[in-house]
Structure 1
């Protein structure tokens, strides 16, 4: 892990729908559909600490679709570490709640989604994101995601690695 004193420094990866390739920092797709850690209407960047995890995350439902793999260099914080069980307890959360697969059906039924509530509380407490294991099919316990609710304006830096400006030509 590259999480020290609540900051993440290192590479991050996202597997983007090509529709969003020109705006890899927008969080628009997550805002449209909602996610485990963001309700509909709230932008978020779901990133992974390695490329394989990013691909698994992007293709959890259905067949492999066209994808753009993007890498970033990051220095972001403060980040909540869900691997810290004491910190989870302070928020009344268990690892089982983080892994609960029913979040999507709850969201679609307009019910409370505990992981989205956790994200709201963490954001209100000044966290810009959280480090959490991947729950995608085939992911190992060591496959990690960094979910961000804030990645500009004081959160640190998140820079797309695109030395040849390829994404603007998509």
Structure 2
């Protein structure tokens, strides 16, 4: 699928000066990227982005940013038939054990899925948010490839150059 529109991200302020780096995800790994692989975890709504950035404990300081995206191909994991073709269902995608599997096995099954999708040419993954309080309508777009040009165009919205 092609995604064209606004995306949102609630960043740890440590990364606010470089909101296109994917460095935090590269260092720590995420549900859909193993350690060593940069990724941008973006959301299709502001509230989903805030939920994603504050999954543990009380609201922590965040920097909210927006991007304009024109990205393809994006794998749509909300399409259950497409996800099943890769051997994944909603419970597999949203399972809480991915951190333990990453620690114990080196990579979680969802990280292995990401590697398969990247090898198949996908620049990102559209998937339901699994953050506390999120519902079926809360969607994320996890990006593995992005640049300022097609087919994975992602541009930070910072018309007033507030981030320097």
TM-score higher than 0.5 here? yes
**Cross-structure match for 2:99:** 104
- TM-score by length of structure 2 reads 0.95
2:152 equivalent to 1:163: no
Task: Note if 1:36 corresponds to 2:31.
Answer: yes
Runs of 4+ in 1 over 6 A off after TM superposition: none
Describe how 1:129-144 pairs up with structure 2 within 5 A: 129-144=124-139
CA shift digits 1:91-118 (9 cap, x unpaired)? 1111110011100121122444110011
Aligned pairs (5 A) from 1:9-158: 9-152=4-147, 154-158=150-154
Per-residue deviation, residues 47-76 of structure 1 (Å, max 9, x unmatched): 000010000000111222111000011101
* Runs of at least 5 residues in structure 1 that lack an aligned partner in the other structure: 1-5
The separation in 2 between residues aligned to 1:32 and 1:112, in whole angstroms, is 14
* Structure 2 unmatched ranges of 5 or more: none
Q: Cα RMSD between the aligned structures?
A: 1.2
TM-score normalized by structure 1?
A: 0.92
Aligned to 2:118, what secondary structure does the other structure show?
A: helix
- Distance in structure 2 (CA, Å) of the matches to 1:66 and 1:26: 19
